[in-house]
């Protein structure tokens, strides 16, 4: 089911060809980072802190070095000094000093799992045994695990040099304050008939990609290094590793392996510089692969948060005012996505008066990394629950209530500038008209909830080349690691422009020396920005084809046109020429044809999604079963609909896991107690229904093919949709994620006793 | 992982000899679904693994209408859930075996290994306790039988002495008009460790309870045999009031902990809920026999 | 259509936390043909505000510039016309690394 | 550390290899035999990415020792295609776009094969139960379940046409 405003009749785009890397991936041939081996390769393991917060008094590696098979050990002292300032690095801004401190602790450990030393040995088992022989002396400090503790006066300070503009030269755990304001909030609330105010708490959660982080580093005596790893951004791995290692960017080549999921978590570095450092010390290739426990303890989950939302609406269902306070756990170093969360939290609605204050707070947890629409899901859990409650107060259907307040083209965004063409209303109508929403939900303890979500999507830099081969087929080369089928989309765009069969186009993901700079596979940007570069590169090839045909026909280029994959001479009856026919004449007409394009993409089209969930609650245990789920999302233009649906379904599944059972569970010492897939409970096949999709295609005017990007916004609505469904099933408003059985049961029992009391009182 | 030695004897005597030789440093090895994880994590430093899967007697499952069930310690869970005999006579134990991990795990893990691992949350142990199962143990100085409820002495530790081997589990033949059930609570629908597990067996006399046994998992440091609730039910109908009472008595004997799987408060509540549900299912089944 | 008779200037929308420099003013009309000129003139009228926006002579990495509803990519080099509306907003991404 | 000589039949071929007792079957397949199609996702038997079939039963190869493979018959994802022709399951996974990143795919294919080998006519709940030991974080399982159900129907169809012929 799809609603499309995208014009242009396409031959390839919108079809569902088999992905070009498919056979390799169903036969086990595809090479992921951990699959690389080299002659003489050593294996590395990382020693990690058992403490959440401690000073390192001493590290003794002598015993470990004596273990037969151990070749080298590195600690924080082996890293060059790094500067404490903000720098631009691809998608994100970085602080070189904090980045370095996260790769190997300098003089302090800041979370359970913080890397302290790395060992290279002849087998992973020996490296692991060596870790047990490294002696570290700690001065254990009080762990700071939540924003509440971190912001209390006199709280232990994590980073002695951290300052923020407002507090001047005072030591603090608050790294940043963002504020967004419009109109007169007090006046706004005066105009409201209903005002709802609640506090929400969301637990820290992990992206949960199945492939652990990995890296193989090879350092050559000439000072050149090569890194093979599974990453969302080879160019970022290169610039960040160069930064940490104090090497020139040009001396590092990063070869992106196939990647087993990332969802934002593989946009930064952990093992990559260690593999180079150990290779430099040993003269051999060194491979490091994280264990699952290391991934959960020491990679980059997304922030837990505390959010207070107060919103007002008039009787007739108009949102008039919002006052919001939000604080996100950044982890051990500054940089939670709270700013993005603040810009998303009321983005879907026109609200005349609002003030949003957002705080980035450091705590003794792993440094957070990006996770699918970073910051937006926490925010939407809070705002979309309040919206639902206001709709209920007004006695208006939750979808109609949202439609009455939905943003459309020309409305101001939270940050000020007006929206261009957007598709929120279409996603709301998509759900409203879906078989799911039209169906009647019957049965006890069952409820239906809806929620909407917003994400900006990203542009940034991408490069592409299109090579026309001697037989008229083509290859399209980009720098975007293919994390969910993007190769197919790049080949389809090339095939569409050049009128080729999609199987005649071979899509390639190149290393950092073989293609121009390309920012991360993230921000829903590959099909948008890299797709734009591919489109331009194919157009460049088309221009060259026209020139060549003109030469062959002894005409001027403007007397030749390219139509339906064929070159046509205007006027007289020269028969049209296909690329296959022209290709053999490339040598005599000027040589090979390579189309090139690099972009710093503008014209980003924001994404909206609306999700509807039916749940059934076990009244005796608080266990929630998702019975049915539908998501409508604006793709702009769906290049390969199957993989667009796949992104919508995958993000929804992650959102449902976030809603129900996923959470970082730390004990009072700040030790992570569920650092494995047994107790970090991601949804299994048995926990989810089929996920119905409505692909909305509200063309993005900023893209030659109308593409917006679909990777992220699908994760935003589910937690709120589930909370709203639970309310309709059992009458309690959940304000905490995960809405796990113990929490929901407690809320239900409290609700029952209170309703009994009030009943008794009547 | 530290270096280990692996041996796969084909007789009980050989196995016992090897276990005796290496004492505390040796452990029987069956499905490996717990011990390999523990060795990797360094929580056990066993240096000798004695694979018992090649010992015939430990791989046999045999049922006799009078003598009951002999369940070899190394019989994988999958053979239990695929056995018609088991489904007919011991549906509760069969459910428990079917709940352990994924199919990949059930294809390797055994009920005996589940017991010897000594986890308070083992799924099959409460089911065995409800059935009055006894563990037959062979060691250097001969053999002995231990009631399953007293087999585990603390988390990860059992009554097995160095050199001793669990050979089989002996389960009485079901009495007329009796059956069993096992229920566990987990947050997901698969792959979790029991937050609470309750096994119940019920023998009926008409619509009244003639005898009942309740086994509890994940509510104390070891799996428990609960007797109070079972006793008060004798001679009574399993109506709501009596089930409520039984549930209350069960949560009284529970001594659970707060952890990432559930709070004390939650476990006490769930223990009562599952007791009511398990007794009801067992009784329903007993009626049909 | 005839050009307006009044002399039009680009409008700069001041971020909430920087309005302390503009005495609470949210929208300011500033002459200039580039972001560099706008920021310079802003700094002359509201001392200190330019330092909040610039680092090493270019827009701070943590700040993005929106010109007429479009995230610009050229930093101080981007050009504007007399009808442009310019916003300074937090740069996006998962956060700081 | 002294190594043990093991002989096993892997994907139809008899192979001999040396491994340490502490090496898992997964480690042996990947590092000793260079069959890297089976993936490591957790090493605790929770994700199923390393699933292989041993003597007709699906197991997590991370929770089996390499030395235990002695005399066993093992199939891995590398053995699913015959003489370069993809199996029905492999084709259905491609047609239904059942993989995004693809890291869990080998494990899902093996678990699905082991299901269909036993139960050629599974219901959706049966498919979901059989695949519950395999985690996928990209797809929400929807397209995987559809591919397995479709493959089962296809295989039944083929068998019918065979028996008809």
Scored b (16 or more CB within 10 A) or e, B87-108 reads eebbbbbbbbbbbbbbbbbbbb
Q: Do A19 and D97 touch (CB under 8 A)?
A: yes
What is the per-residue pLDDT across D142-158, written as a single tens digit (0 to 9) for each? 999 999 999 999 999 88
Nearest to D128 among A208, A677, A686 (CB): A686
Catalytic residue, candidates A137, A171, A712, A736? A712
What is the per-residue pLDDT across A253-282, written as a single tens digit (0 to 9) for each? 999 999 999 999 999 999 999 999 999 999
Partner A, chain D 30-89, Cβ-Cβ below 8 Å: 30-31, 34-44, 46-47, 49, 76-78, 80-81, 86
Go through the domains of chain C in sequence order and give each one's CATH number: 11-81 (3.10.20.30)
pLDDT score, position A571: 81
Q: In A, which residues are within 8 Å of B266 by CB distance?
A: 741-742, 745-746
Which CATH architecture fits B178-288? Answer: 2-Layer Sandwich (3.30)
Q: What is the mean pLDDT of each run of 10 residues along chain C (97 residues)?
A: 64 91 92 94 94 90 88 91 91 52
The CA distances from residue A566 to A472, A504, A549, A555, in Å, are 11, 15, 10, 16
Tell me: pLDDT of A762 over 70. no
Nearest to D37 among A28, A263, A683 (CB): A28
pLDDT score, position C96: 42
Tell me: pLDDT of A13 over 80. yes
Q: Does D106 touch chain A (CB under 8 A)?
A: yes
HSE (CB half, 13 Å, CA atoms) of B247? 22
Tell me: pLDDT of A94 over 90. no
Residues 6 or more apart in contact with residue B289 via CB below 8 angstroms: B174, B176, B177, B178, B179
| In chain B, where the domains are located | 5-119+134-171, 178-288
- Hey, which chains touch D, using 3+ CB pairs under 8 Å? A, B
- The DSSP symbol for B105 reads H
Give the residue carrying structure tokens 């040009």: A250
In chain A, whose CA is at the least distance from the CA of B4?
A125
pLDDT score, position A759: 58
Q: Does B239 touch chain A (CB under 8 A)?
A: no
Average pLDDT over residues B70-81: 98
Q: How far B192 CA lies from chain D's nearest CA (Å)?
A: 9
Q: Do A27 and D86 touch (CB under 8 A)?
A: yes
- The DSSP symbol for D159 reads H
Q: Do A128 and B273 touch (CB under 8 A)?
A: no
Tell me: pLDDT of B266 over 80. yes
pLDDT score, position A1: 41
What is the per-residue pLDDT across B276-287, written as a single tens digit (0 to 9) for each? 999 999 999 999
Residues from A in contact with B at Cβ < 8 Å: 125, 128-129, 132, 620-621, 623, 625, 660-661, 665, 673-674, 677-679, 681, 683-687, 740-742, 745-746
CA A358/CA A327 separation, integer angstroms:
6
Q: How far D27 CA lies from chain A's nearest CA (Å)?
A: 10
Looking at per-residue confidence, does A755 or A277 come out higher?
A: A277
> Are A594 and A469 a contacting pair, CB within 8 Å?
no
| The two structure tokens encoding residue A762 | 């009547």
A 10 A CB-CB count for B220 gives 16
Nearest to A686 among B189, B262, B270 (CB): B189
| pLDDT bracket for residue A345 (50, 70, 90) | very high
Nearest to A684 among D81, D86, D132 (CB): D132
Average pLDDT over residues B40-51: 95
Q: In D, which residues are within 8 Å of B5 by CB distance?
A: 21
Nearest to B32 among D1, D65, D133 (CB): D65
Q: In A, which residues are within 8 Å of B2 by CB distance?
A: 125, 129
* CA-based max dimension of chain C: 51
What is the per-residue pLDDT across A382-403, written as a single tens digit (0 to 9) for each? 999 999 999 999 999 999 999 9
What is the per-residue pLDDT across B201-212, written as a single tens digit (0 to 9) for each? 999 999 999 999
SS3 A350: coil
**H or E element at residue A654:** helix A641-660
What is the per-residue pLDDT across A462-484, written as a single tens digit (0 to 9) for each? 999 999 999 999 999 999 999 99
| pLDDT bracket for residue A88 (50, 70, 90) | low
Size of interface A-C (CB pairs under 8 A): 113
Q: How far D160 CA lies from chain A's nearest CA (Å)?
A: 26
Q: Does B191 touch chain A (CB under 8 A)?
A: yes
Average pLDDT over residues A578-599: 97
Residues 6 or more apart in contact with residue D61 via CB below 8 angstroms: D24, D25, D26, D29, D38, D50, D51, D52
Average pLDDT over residues A569-597: 94
CA A430/CA A610 separation, integer angstroms:
8
Go through the domains of chain A in sequence order and give each one's CATH number: 1-30+403-448+606-762 (3.30.365.10), 459-601 (3.30.365.10)
Helices (H), B144-235: 228-233
| The two structure tokens encoding residue A83 | 């500067």
The CA distances from residue D52 to A104, A115, A157, A747, in Å, are 37, 33, 50, 44
Go through the domains of chain D in sequence order and give each one's CATH number: 4-79 (3.10.20.30), 88-164 (1.10.150.120)
- The DSSP symbol for A65 reads H
Q: Do D58 and B49 touch (CB under 8 A)?
A: no
CA D147/CA B110 separation, integer angstroms:
32
pLDDT score, position C90: 84
pLDDT score, position D1: 63
pLDDT score, position A86: 76
pLDDT score, position C97: 42
Q: Do A333 and C96 touch (CB under 8 A)?
A: yes
Q: Do A685 and D144 touch (CB under 8 A)?
A: yes
Q: Tally the residues of chain A.
A: 762
Size of interface B-D (CB pairs under 8 A): 77
Does B5-119+134-171 match B178-288 in CATH topology?
no
Q: Does A100 touch chain C (CB under 8 A)?
A: no
A226 bridge partner residues: A218, A253
Size of interface A-B (CB pairs under 8 A): 58
Q: Do A28 and D106 touch (CB under 8 A)?
A: yes
Q: In B, which residues are within 8 Å of A684 by CB distance?
A: 188-191
Average pLDDT over residues D83-107: 97
Average pLDDT over residues B4-14: 97
pLDDT score, position D158: 82
Exposed, middle or buried, B139 (CB in 10 Å: 0-12/13-18/19+)? middle
Exposed, middle or buried, A365 (CB in 10 Å: 0-12/13-18/19+)? buried
Q: Do A260 and D80 touch (CB under 8 A)?
A: no
Q: Do C68 and A417 touch (CB under 8 A)?
A: yes
A 10 A CB-CB count for C22 gives 16
What is the per-residue pLDDT across A685-705, written as a single tens digit (0 to 9) for each? 999 999 999 999 999 999 999
SS3 A163: coil
Average pLDDT over residues D122-128: 98
A693 bridge partner residues: A631
B and C make contact (3+ CB pairs below 8 Å): no
φ and ψ at A619, to 5 degrees?
-65, -20
Scored b (16 or more CB within 10 A) or e, A93-111 reads bbbbbbbbbbbbbbebbbb
Q: Does B273 touch chain A (CB under 8 A)?
A: yes
Nearest to B191 among D21, D46, D111 (CB): D46
Q: Does B51 touch chain A (CB under 8 A)?
A: no
What is the per-residue pLDDT across B142-163, written as a single tens digit (0 to 9) for each? 999 999 999 999 999 999 999 9
Q: In B, which residues are within 8 Å of D57 by CB distance?
A: 78, 107
Q: Do A686 and D129 touch (CB under 8 A)?
A: yes
Q: In B, which residues are within 8 Å of D4 by CB distance?
A: 6
Q: How far B32 CA lies from chain D's nearest CA (Å)?
A: 6
Q: Do A207 and D137 touch (CB under 8 A)?
A: yes
Q: Does C17 touch chain A (CB under 8 A)?
A: yes
Q: In B, which residues are within 8 Å of A679 by CB distance?
A: 192-193, 260-261
HSE (CB half, 13 Å, CA atoms) of D120? 9
A258 given a catalytic annotation = no
pLDDT score, position D163: 63
> Are A425 and A691 a contacting pair, CB within 8 Å?
no
What number does CATH give the domain B5-119+134-171?
3.30.465.10
Average pLDDT over residues A570-597: 94
The CA distances from residue B283 to B177, B235, B250, B270, in Å, are 9, 13, 18, 20
In chain B, whose CA is at the least distance from the CA of D59?
B104
Q: In D, which residues are within 8 Å of A30 by CB distance?
A: 102
Q: Do D102 and A209 touch (CB under 8 A)?
A: no
Looking at per-residue confidence, does A758 or B41 come out higher?
A: B41
Q: Does A264 touch chain C (CB under 8 A)?
A: yes
Partner C, chain A 321-350, Cβ-Cβ below 8 Å: 330, 333-340, 343
Average pLDDT, chain A: 96
């Amino acid at each position: 089911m799809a609603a499309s405003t995208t014009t242009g009749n396409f031959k390839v785009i919108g079809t569902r060809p088999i992905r070009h890397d498919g056979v390799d991936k169903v036969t086990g041939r595809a090479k992921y980072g951990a699959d690389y081996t080299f002659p003489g390769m050593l294996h590395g393991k990382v020693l990690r802190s058992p403490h959440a917060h401690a000073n390192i008094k001493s590290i003794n590696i002598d015993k470990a070095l004596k273990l037969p098979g151990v070749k080298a050990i590195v600690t924080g002292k082996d890293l060059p000094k790094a500067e404490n300032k903000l720098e631009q690095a691809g998608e994100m801004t970085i602080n070189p000093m904090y980045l370095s401190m996260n790769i190997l602790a300098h003089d302090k450990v800041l979370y359970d799992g913080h890397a302290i030393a790395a060992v290279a040995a002849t087998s992973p088992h020996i490296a692991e045994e060596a870790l047990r022989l490294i002696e570290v002396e700690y001065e254990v400090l009080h762990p700071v695990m939540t924003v509440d503790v971190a912001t209390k006066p006199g709280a232990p300070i994590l980073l002695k040099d951290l300052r923020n503009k407002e507090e001047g030269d005072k030591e603090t755990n608050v790294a940043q304050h963002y504020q967004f304001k419009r109109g007169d909030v007090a006046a706004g609330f005066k105009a409201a008939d209903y005002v709802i105010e609640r506090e929400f708490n969301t637990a820290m959660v992990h992206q949960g990609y199945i492939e652990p982080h990995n890296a193989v580093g090879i350092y050559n005596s000439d000072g050149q290094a090569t890194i093979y790893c599974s990453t969302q951004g080879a160019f970022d791995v290169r610039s960040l590793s160069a930064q940490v290692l104090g090497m020139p960017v040009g001396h590092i080549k990063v070869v992106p392996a196939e990647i087993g999921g990332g969802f934002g978590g593989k946009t930064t570095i952990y093992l990559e510089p260690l593999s180079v450092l150990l290779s430099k010390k040993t003269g051999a290739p060194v491979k490091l692969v994280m264990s699952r426990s290391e991934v959960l303890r020491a990679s980059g989950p997304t922030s837990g948060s505390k959010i207070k939302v107060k919103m007002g609406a008039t009787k007739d269902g108009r949102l008039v005012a919002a006052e919001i306070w939000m604080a996100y756990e950044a982890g051990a170093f500054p940089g939670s996505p709270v700013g993005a969360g603040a810009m998303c939290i009321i983005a879907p609605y026109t609200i005349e008066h609002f003030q949003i204050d957002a705080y980035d707070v450091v705590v003794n947890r792993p440094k957070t990394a990006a996770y699918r629409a970073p910051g937006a899901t926490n925010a939407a859990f809070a705002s979309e629950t309040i919206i639902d409650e206001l709709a209920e107060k007004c006695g208006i259907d939750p979808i109609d209530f949202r439609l009455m307040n939905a943003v459309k083209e020309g409305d101001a965004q939270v940050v000020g500038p007006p929206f261009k063409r957007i598709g929120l209303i279409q996603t709301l109508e998509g759900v409203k008209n879906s078989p799911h929403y039209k169906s009647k939900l019957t049965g006890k303890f069952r409820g239906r909830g809806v929620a909407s979500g917003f994400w900006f999507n990203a542009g940034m830099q991408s490069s592409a080349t299109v090579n026309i081969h001697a037989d008229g087929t083509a290859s399209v080369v980009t720098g975007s690691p293919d994390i969910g089928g993007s190769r197919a989309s790049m080949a389809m765009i090339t095939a569409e422009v050049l009128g080729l069969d999609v199987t005649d186009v071979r899509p390639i993901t190149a290393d950092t020396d073989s293609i121009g700079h390309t920012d991360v596979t993230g921000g829903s940007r590959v099909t948008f920005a890299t797709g734009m570069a591919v489109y331009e590169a194919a157009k460049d090839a088309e221009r060259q084809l026209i020139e060549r045909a003109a030469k062959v026909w002894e005409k001027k280029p403007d007397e030749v046109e390219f139509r339906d994959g064929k070159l046509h001479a205007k006027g007289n009856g020269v028969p049209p020429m296909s690329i296959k026919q022209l290709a053999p004449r490339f040598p005599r007409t000027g040589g090979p044809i390579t189309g090139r394009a690099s972009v710093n993409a503008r014209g980003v089209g924001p994404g909206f999604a609306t999700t509807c969930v039916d749940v059934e609650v076990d009244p005796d245990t608080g266990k929630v079963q998702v019975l049915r789920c539908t998501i409508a999302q604006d793709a702009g233009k769906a290049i390969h609909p199957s993989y667009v649906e796949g992104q919508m379904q995958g993000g929804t599944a992650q959102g449902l896991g976030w809603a129900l059972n996923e959470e970082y569970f730390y004990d009072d010492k700040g030790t992570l107690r569920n650092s494995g897939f047994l107790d970090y409970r991601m949804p299994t096949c048995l926990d989810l229904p089929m996920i119905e999709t409505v692909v909305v295609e509200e063309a993005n005017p900023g893209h030659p093919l109308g593409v917006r990007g679909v990777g992220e916004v699908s994760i935003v609505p589910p937690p709120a949709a589930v909370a709203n469904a639970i309310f309709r099933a059992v009458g309690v408003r959940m304000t905490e994620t995960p809405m796990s059985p113990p929490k929901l049961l407690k809320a239900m029992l409290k609700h029952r006793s209170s309703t009994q009391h009030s009943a008794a009182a009547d | 992982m530290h270096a280990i030695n692996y041996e796969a004897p084909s007789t009980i005597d050989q196995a016992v000899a090897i276990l005796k030789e290496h004492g505390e440093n040796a452990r029987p090895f069956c499905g490996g679904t717990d011990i390999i994880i523990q060795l990797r994590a360094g929580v056990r430093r066993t240096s000798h693994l004695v694979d018992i899967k090649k010992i015939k007697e430990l791989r046999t499952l045999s049922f006799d209408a009078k003598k009951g069930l002999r369940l070899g310690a190394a019989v994988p869970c999958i053979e239990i859930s695929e056995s018609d005999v088991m489904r007919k006579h011991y549906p509760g134990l069969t459910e428990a075996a079917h709940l352990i991990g994924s199919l990949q795990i059930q294809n390797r893990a055994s009920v005996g290994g589940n017991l010897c691992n000594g986890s308070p949350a083992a799924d099959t142990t409460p089911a065995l306790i409800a059935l009055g199962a006894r563990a037959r143990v062979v060691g250097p100085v001969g053999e002995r039988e231990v009631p399953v409820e007293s087999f585990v002495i603390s988390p990860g530790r059992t009554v097995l002495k160095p050199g001793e081997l669990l050979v089989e589990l002996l389960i009485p033949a079901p009495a007329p008009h009796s059956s069993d059930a096992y229920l566990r609570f987990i947050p997901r629908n698969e792959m979790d460790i029991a937050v609470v597990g309750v096994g119940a067996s019920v023998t009926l006399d008409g619509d009244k309870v003639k005898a009942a046994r309740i086994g509890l998992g994940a509510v104390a440091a070891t799996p428990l045999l609960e007797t109070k609730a079972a006793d008060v039910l004798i001679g009574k109908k399993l109506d709501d009031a009596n089930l409520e009472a039984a549930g209350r008595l069960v949560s009284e004997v529970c001594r659970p902990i707060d952890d990432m799987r559930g709070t004390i408060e939650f476990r006490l509540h769930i223990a009562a809920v599952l007791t009511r549900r398990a007794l009801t299912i067992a009784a329903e089944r007993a009626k049909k026999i | 259509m005839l050009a307006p008779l009044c002399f039009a200037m680009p409008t700069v929308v001041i971020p909430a936390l920087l309005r302390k420099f503009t005495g609470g003013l949210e929208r300011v009309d500033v002459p200039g043909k580039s972001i560099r000129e706008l920021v310079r003139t802003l700094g002359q009228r509201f001392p200190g505000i330019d330092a909040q926006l610039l680092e090493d002579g270019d827009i701070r990495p943590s700040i993005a510039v929106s010109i007429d509803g479009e995230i610009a990519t050229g930093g101080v080099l981007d050009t504007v016309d007399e009808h442009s509306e310019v916003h300074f907003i937090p740069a996006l991404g998962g956060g700081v690394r | 550390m002294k190594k043990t000589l093991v002989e096993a039949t892997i994907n139809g071929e008899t192979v001999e290899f040396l491994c340490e007792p502490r090496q898992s079957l997964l480690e042996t397949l990947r590092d000793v035999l260079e069959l890297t199609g089976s993936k490591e996702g957790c090493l605790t038997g929770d994700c199923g990415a390393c699933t292989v079939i041993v003597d007709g039963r699906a197991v997590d190869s991370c929770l089996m020792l390499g030395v235990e493979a002695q005399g066993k018959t093992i199939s891995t994802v590398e053995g699913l295609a015959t003489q370069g022709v993809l199996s029905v399951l492999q084709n259905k996974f491609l047609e239904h776009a059942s993989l995004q990143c693809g890291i869990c795919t080998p494990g899902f294919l093996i678990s699905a094969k082991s299901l269909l080998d036993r139960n050629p006519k599974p219901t959706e709940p049966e498919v979901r139960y059989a695949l519950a030991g395999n985690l996928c974080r990209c797809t929400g399982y929807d397209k995987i379940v559809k591919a397995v159900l479709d493959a089962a129907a296809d295989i039944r169809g083929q068998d019918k046409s065979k028996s008809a012929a």
